[in-house]
Each structure stands twice: as structure tokens, then as C-alpha cells.
Chain A
Amino acid sequence: EPEVTQTPSHQVTQMGQEVILRCVPISNHLYFYWYRQILGQKVEFLVSFYNNEISEKSEIFDDQFSVERPDGSNFTLKIRSTKLEDSAMYFCASNFGGGMNTEAFFGQGTRLTVV
């Protein structure tokens, strides 16, 4: 069964450092997403990406965040200067259809710890 894969599974970084979280969406999917989940809180939308550009983003996704699809398979989330409050589980997701009205597949997540 196809799956979304994320690397690394756990990332520890110093405050102020840049981090890149990586995702390989399902190969024939067209829409890609990043979500995050702070411990004990809701899963929150960060950004959606389609046709090599951001289609929607939340208030959380400020100038410190960026996304990129550097090649035909990877989808990355970069945080330029990490803050303690960026510590969370980050989930990548993808689907074939427009919006999340079609089944979205989630990766297993990357746990980011900022110290």
C-alpha cells in the first residue's frame, strides 16, 4: 500500500538554528500539506501546496516557515530560526484531489524538539 514517508522521525535542534523536515508524498498525489501537533493539543494546519506553489496557509505559517518541492518526489518544510514553541510533531499529508475532501494520507510524523 502506498504511504507518505517522513524523515527524520525525531529532530533535536538548538534554538535559533534552521531545520528542514522532509516528506515523500504518494507518487501520483497532487496536493501536499504540512500540519503540526503540539503535545496535548489539536492537530493544526500549516500550509497546503499545489502546482509548485502555496495554495493556502494558516497564521502559524509566518516568514520563518517555507516549503519547497525541490524535485519530483520530496516535499520539505523549513523553519529558518527555530523557537522553543516550534517544538511539536509535524505531519506531512498528501492527496490526489483538490482540497482535503478526498482521502488524505498522513506520514508518521517528525518530532521536533527545540532546546
Chain B
Amino acid sequence: GENVEQHPSTLSVQEGDSAVIKCTYSDSASNYFPWYKQELGKGPQLIIDIRSNVGEKKDQRIAVTLNKTAKHFSLHITETQPEDSAVYFCAAIGNTGNQFYFGTGTSLTVIP
């Protein structure tokens, strides 16, 4: 099955700086890569996703890049704000499956 690795496990940045979280996956058949944000006491919420036919996607301060050859994808948050503080999960899924394979999560702290 798929194996998703995520780094770093914790990340602290100053407000206004950028944050980058990286994930790798093992199954070359995976073709959909969502990123979820989980705030304390809440369920994961989708913040951005990318499909394997695209190399980069951007939504305001958030961007995701995908390198299919290297089998890695990254989340970039620019101009970080304190409300960006949360746990972020990457995930991968293939086109024949119903299940996400999640990374271990990154706890992001934005210091005001």
C-alpha cells in the first residue's frame, strides 16, 4: 500500500515569514494529494489539493507543488499569521481506492 512521510513534525515561524511542509509518497499510482488543516478540537479541513496532472496550485497565501518523478509534494504558506497555527496533514490517494493515506502531521506555530 501507499506510505506517506511528512516533515517536519513541528515548525515554528515568525509572523509574516513563510512556512514549508514536505511530504513524500511511495505509490506512483497515487494521483490526488490534499492538504488538511486541523485546529484544536476540530476535524481536518481541506485547505488545498492538487492532482497529478498539475505541478503547482495556488490559492491566495497557500500553494502546493507536486513533483511526480521524485514522488514528493509540498505545502507553502506565505505571510503567515497567528491563525495559521494548527496541525497540517498531507495525504495521497490512488484512483482506484477510497482511502486516504495520511502523513503524520506537522504542528505549525506562528509566533506573533
Point out residues on A near B: beta carbons under 8 Å: 4, 6, 31, 33, 35, 41-45, 48, 50, 55-56, 58, 91, 93, 98-101, 103-109
Contacts and interface: CB of A to CB of B under 8 A. Distances in A.
Given A42-B103, A42-B104, A100-B93, A109 B43 contact: yes
Interface stretch (B58-66, B75-83, B94-102): B94-102
Interface residues of B, number: 24
Contacts of A44: 102
A56 B42 contact: no
B46 interface: yes
Judged by DSSP, the binding face of B is loop
A91 B41 CA distance: 12
Best-buried of A45, A58, A91 by chain B (most CB within 10 Å):
A45
Contact of B97 (A6, A56, A109): A56
A108 B34 CA distance: 18
A43 B102 contact: yes
A101 B95 contact: yes
B100 A4 contact: no
B95 A99 contact: yes
A41 B104 contact: yes
